[in-house]
Structure 1
Amino acid sequence: MSSSRSSDSRSTRAALKVLARYLGPQWALVTLLLVLLLSSIGLQLLTPQILASYIDVAREQGALATLQRFAFTYIVLGLLVQLFSAGATYVGANVGWTATNRLRADLMRHLLKLDMSYHKERTPGEMIERVDGDVTALSNFFSQFSVRVFGAALLLLGSLVMFWREDVRVGAIVTVFACFTLFALLRARRVGVEPSKKEREASAELYGFIEERLTGLDDVRALGGGAHALRGFLGVQKNFFWKAYRAWIARSVVWQLSFLMFAIGYVGILGLAVGFYAAGTITLGTAYLYYTYMTLIEDPIDQLTQQLQELQKAGAGLIRIGEVFGLSTELREGAREVPSGATEVAFRDVSFAYGDTPVLKDVDFTLRAGRTLGLLGRTGSGKTTLTRLVSRLYDPTAGSVTLSGIDTRDLSLESLREHVAVVTQDVQLFQASIRDNLTLFDDRLPDERVAAALEEVGLGDWLASQADGLDSALASGSLSAGEAQLLAFARVLLRDPGLVILDEPSSRLDPATEARLTKAMERLLLHRTAIVIAHRLDTVARADDILVLGDGEIVEFGPREALACRPSSRYSQLLRAASQGRADFEEVLS
């Protein structure tokens, strides 16, 4: 019970905190929403009085003009109630979705600032579920919770006041009933918070599993692992099903209890109305008022019941979102900016380890501004880790990495990421227009500049062949591997960074496409510093410097031409092996 109370308290505090943070800036719309709600509720409480008077006048065979006036007034008030209710719903949805989208953006921004140690432990699918799934589960909480819950509370209070106004005894009885019902529902609500949280966690695990298997679909098919992948999917799907089922059962306690309580309530209020009418103490119209105001009590409590179920889901989601916001990156934020232009890169006695596994050991070198470094080494030698330290996905365990003489730990992360561009072997393309794929959905860049970037990397003719130009949709699989790499180069040109990191851009291309890519790469690296991870010598044939890594240590470093002329150097050995028809890096560098 104490655990349930603790979870319930956490979800309530989280809900109130998020409401204040994301609804506060929209105070003008929230005020309008309050006015619409008060107007709608006031009219809902007034219309039964009109109809009760109509019933009493009709029973006493009153004047037709009086009945017509009551009928006309009732219709007008009914239309106004609908108008105000529709307005409140619209404004509430607008406020809610604005808040939801702000929350999603803040969550995404926070995740992007976390270091790679966090992202390595979680699948992209789980991240998508956190940013989209958990926040989408809050959409109803934001868009309808304030309207329905606040409105329901006001309507409930107003209905009780009307009961007290009609008869103090009935008012007291109904007030006790309403308070007991609300207390019982609030107690029952706590049952669903923890199961709902486990349901969201199971959902994240499911989507993470799906994303991983879809990413490796080609390998799964090639290795005949379809049956194994399907068994794994059925396992996580079964886990999600049962946790969702248990969460639904726990949440259903609320509405089942509500149904039972109001069955008792209706029997009681109808019994009182019939008894008082038979005794001649109330009119038929007043008896109708008893029943109608009971429905006006049922409606808000029913709304509260539904929204409390949503609050259970929202509470679980808010706790999970709060856990993400509570994560702090190990990469402290610096304040200095990266100087513009080509960047000097220096490693000073840098060591790095993933946990207890050393990857880089006492790496020390300087790459002067405007020069291109060819980075060679066996698989697992630390090449990729070295570039990740440059782009500050990690900080070194010991030593320092500097850009233009400034320690990366003293640099603003935003400035560093804008100044350093990374092109990987796998280019990520979006189901969007060519323009959006190049600008990454930044509409501030003019079309002329985007088209010029494509022309510069050799995709001018390709762009001209597109029916809608930059607005043409980039369908999945419509680009070859070479064209995708050229598109990635155009992205870099649009950013105009001072340092470019290329992770073997030509490893999977045919010779003709590779030659085309090499020309584009020359234009891309002009007047910029570059680090090129290579698995083929042709990739670094025009590099200024060569750095060979072995088991996390520098085997050799120097100007490419000088190393090529030194017979004992590893680079020279690679060149001789290539001339003899042997191009196995692993063998020569071992």
Structure 2
Amino acid sequence: MGKSKALPRIPVGEYLSLFRNYLRPQRKRMALLSVLLLFGIALQLVNPQIIRYFIDTAQSLSSGTPLIWAAILFIGVSFVQQLVTVYASYLGANVGWMATNQLRSDVAAHCLKLDMAFHKTQTSGSIIERVDGDINNLSNFFSHFAIMLVSNMLLVAGMLVLLFREGWQIGGGMLLFVILALLAIRYIRRLAVPHWGKVREVSARFYGFLGEHLEGTEDTRASGATGYVMHRFFTLMREWLPLRVRAFFGWASMWITTIIVFTIGNAVAFAVSYLLFKQGSISLGTVYMIFYYTELMAKPIEQIRTQLEDLQKADASIGRVRELLQTKSSIRDGEGAPLPAGPLSVAMERVSFSYEGEQATLAEVDFRLQPGQVLGLLGRTGSGKSTLARLLLRFYDPAGGRIMLSGIDIRQPKLRELRSRVGMVTQTIELFQGTIRDNLTFFDESVDDERIIGVLGELGLREWLLSLPQGLDTRLDSGGGGLSAGEAQLLSFARVFLTDPGLVILDEASSRLDPATEQRIEQAMNKLLQGRTCIIIAHRLATIERADRILVLEQGRVVEDGERARLAADPGSRYSRMLQIGMEEMLA
């Protein structure tokens, strides 16, 4: 297993860009949060002054009234400070989650726009880890980092100013303490950052592996591959653990460094206070105030350390999110040329295509299909039939040649319009958690129930729909749990026909159906395909009996193209030999 490469250093402009894009809509909340934090700083600086007054007054006055008022003031300031802290924490968390949710939405939308070449190289678990895990690490970065860093710097500066007022020796000692603390933290952070980047990379690979094999649990068990999966699981865990340990030690190093620096700071404060008190330069109350400020100074420096620790994680996450957002789809949206209503003609002109790193899948494919015609597309597995269908939907663009729909290059219409006018039904059915209506319309509320029920009726599903307790509002589990394979396939047909496409592609769509269900679809297809162009990809001759034309592919090339009736009557044609000896045997 090769070493993970370290992510490049994130430029400051990248952070500023994130703040600008995702915090600008919340500038009012950010302004209120800033005011609250500044007010909290003022309260923290005031309280030690009250304590000094209390101690010095207790030594010199016989009356306890000023002390009572000082105590009441101290309690009041502390109470208000706690209220401000709680509300600021709530507001900061709110800002952080709103910003990260917007970023998560943008990243998810970007992933959905990327072409199939990207999704073929990424597992679903890996993408989920980027969309959710990496962005979760940015919550504190958005909500607190800039404001907390600035406010803690201001708190430290305020305490130094007050300490310098008491004496340059005290102020100088504490300034040296602060400089030493920040330099030490900065140095340790530089050692720890690379490990967090590697942790995020391995985390994404682990969750990608886990998601992939959890989805295929049945196949894993049936093929006896459980041992391999667990071996791979433990291999990834063994790779993850040392990286996580090194990242933890980076965090621990910062924590230990701050403890050592705080101890040194307290020692300096005690030493200077003792000397000045012995000389009579300061009072006992001032000694306590210096000690209080020294202890208080540990808090903002500790928070600065925490913010820098979060920045370590943010560095890695921002780098990975940036890498994802900079990934561009090779499929560019068209300029918006409209496709005509009704059935679409199809023309491929010397189309060539190959998947990345593979030999040509399609080579010089050339054919034409008139509006309303049905094409039977035949060929061995791997001959390029499904690839041809994907090109028609622009999941990929051809490497050479062009594809025309009703005389319009498919690169010209908007992708949304193209995919609403070209519908495809495959043997793999994707059903989602939601109602039957949601699964049929893809959550489009503009589709009325009458139209849905009409399409289901055409497919022979009206009685099935009436038998359901809640009709179209009946909820389905993810993956279509509770439905038979035939019912799921029929729903996929209904989903496509609801969009009223001008071209329908059936990619071995009846392969999962039992004979009775397939017969129901055959009966409905005759009516539903009226006024539409259709391409049927099949391994069985019975499924293409309605075809007007036959196209046979072999190793990505057209080896036969013509009218079905003419080819059937020609004893020398491949299609005729398929009819004679059986398509399955000929394509074996």
Aligned-pair identity (%): 45
Spell out, residue by residue over 1:166-211, the C-alpha distance to the aligned partner (whole angstroms, 9 max, x if none): 3333122212211221122112111122111111111111122222
Residue of structure 2 equivalent to 1:588: 586
Q: 1:140 to 1:438 in 2, by over 3 A?
A: farther
**Deviation per residue, 1:538-589 (Å, 9 max, x gap):** 3223334332211211222334344344444333333334xxxx451xx324
CA contact (8 A) 1:543 1:560 kept: yes
Q: Is the 8 A contact 1:382 1:549 kept in 2?
A: yes
Residue in 2 that maps onto 1:343: 344
Spell out, residue by residue over 1:322-381, the C-alpha distance to the aligned partner (whole angstroms, 9 max, x if none).
122222233333312342533322101111123450111211112223333222111011
| 1:173-212 equivalence runs, <5 A | 173-212=173-212
Q: CA offsets, 1:25-79, max 9 Å, x none?
A: 3222222222222222222222222233233333334544333332333333223
Q: Distance in 2 between matches of 1:166 and 1:443?
A: 71
Structure 2 CA distance for partners of 1:138 and 1:365, relative to 1, 3 Å: same
Equivalent in the alignment of 1:3 = none
How has the CA–CA distance of structure 1 residues 562 and 8 changed in structure 2, closer, same or farther, with 3 Å as cutoff?
A: closer
The equivalent residue for 1:402 is: 404
SS of 1:547's partner is: strand
Secondary structure, counterpart of 2:35 in structure 1: helix
Aligned counterpart for 2:535 among listed residues 507, 531, 555: 531
After superposition, the Cα gap between the structure-2 partners of 1:398 and 1:291, relative to the gap in structure 1 and judged at 3 Å, is same
For 1:445-460, what aligned pairs fall within 5 Å after superposition?
Answer: 454=456, 457-460=459-462
CA separation of 1:39/1:519 partners in 2, compared to 1, >3 Å: closer, same or farther?
A: farther
8 Å contact kept, 2:180–2:261: no
Larger CA deviation: 72-81 vs 548-557: 72-81
Cα distance in 2 for partners of 1:152, 1:453 equals: 64
Cα 1:378–1:69 shift into 2, 3 Å: same
Residue aligning to 1:504: 508
Aligned partner letter, 1:78: S
* 2:189–2:309 Cα contact (<8 Å) kept: yes
Q: Which amino acid aligns with 2:324?
A: V
* 1:230 match: 230
What is the CA distance between 1:478 and its match in structure 2?
Answer: 1.8
**Is the contact between residue 378 and residue 589 of structure 1 (CA under 8 Å) also seen in structure 2?**
yes
Give the match's secondary structure for 1:332. Answer: coil
Contact 1:482 1:517 survives alignment (8 Å): no
Change (3 A) 1:77 1:337: farther
Which residue is 2:72 aligned to? Answer: 72
Instruction: Find out whether 1:576 has 2:563 as its counterpart.
Output: no
Equivalent position SS for 1:351: strand
Structure 2: segments with no counterpart, 5+ residues:
1-5
| Letter in structure 1 aligned against 2:226 | G
Aligned to 1:419: 421
- Tell me the equivalent position of 2:381: 379
TM-score of the aligned structures, taking structure 2 as reference length: 0.90
User: Structure 1 residues 537, 186: CA separation in 2 closer, same or farther (over 3 Å shift)?
Assistant: same
- Kindly state the Cα deviation for residue 470 of structure 1 after the two structures are TM-superposed: 4.6
Task: From the superposition, tell whether residues 9 and 555 of structure 1 become closer, same or farther in structure 2 (CA, over 3 Å).
Answer: closer
Per mean C-alpha deviation after superposition, the further-off stretch among 207-216 and 232-241 is 207-216
**Equivalent residue number for residue 107 of structure 1:** 107
- Counterpart of 1:172 in structure 2: which amino acid? G
Q: 1:495/1:80 Cα in 2 relative to 1: closer, same or farther (>3 Å)?
A: farther
- Check the 8 A contact 1:92/1:146 in 2, yes or no: no
Deviation at 1:316, TM superposition (A): 0.7
How much has 1:319 moved relative to structure 2? Answer: 0.9
**One-letter code of the match for 1:588?**
M
Deviates more, 1:391-400 or 1:14-23: 14-23
Match of 1:360 in 2: 362
Higher mean displacement: 244-253 or 505-514: 244-253
Tell which deviates more after alignment, 265-274 or 252-261.
265-274
Aligned with residue 552 of structure 1, among 556, 561, 577? 556
In structure 2, C-alpha distance between the alignment counterparts of 1:399 and 1:467, rounded to whole Å: 52
Q: Residue 486 of structure 2 aligns with which residue?
A: 482
Letter of the 2:519 counterpart: A
Is residue 14–residue 319 contact of structure 1 (8 Å, CA) maintained in 2? no
Residues 547 and 255 of structure 1: CA distance in aligned 2, closer, same or farther (over 3 Å): same
SS of alignment partner, residue 377 of structure 2: strand
Cα pair distance change 1:63/1:319, threshold 3 Å: same
Cα offset, 1:134, TM superposition: 1.7
Give the number of aligned pairs.
579
Q: Where does residue 394 of structure 2 map in the other structure?
A: 392
- The alignment partner of 1:410 has SS state of coil
1:430 aligns with 2:428: no
Q: Which runs of 5+ in 1 are unaligned?
A: 1-5
1:320 aligns with 2:324: no
Q: For the structure 1 residues 230 and 284, does the alpha-carbon distance in structure 2 shift closer, same or farther, using more than 3 Å as the test?
A: same
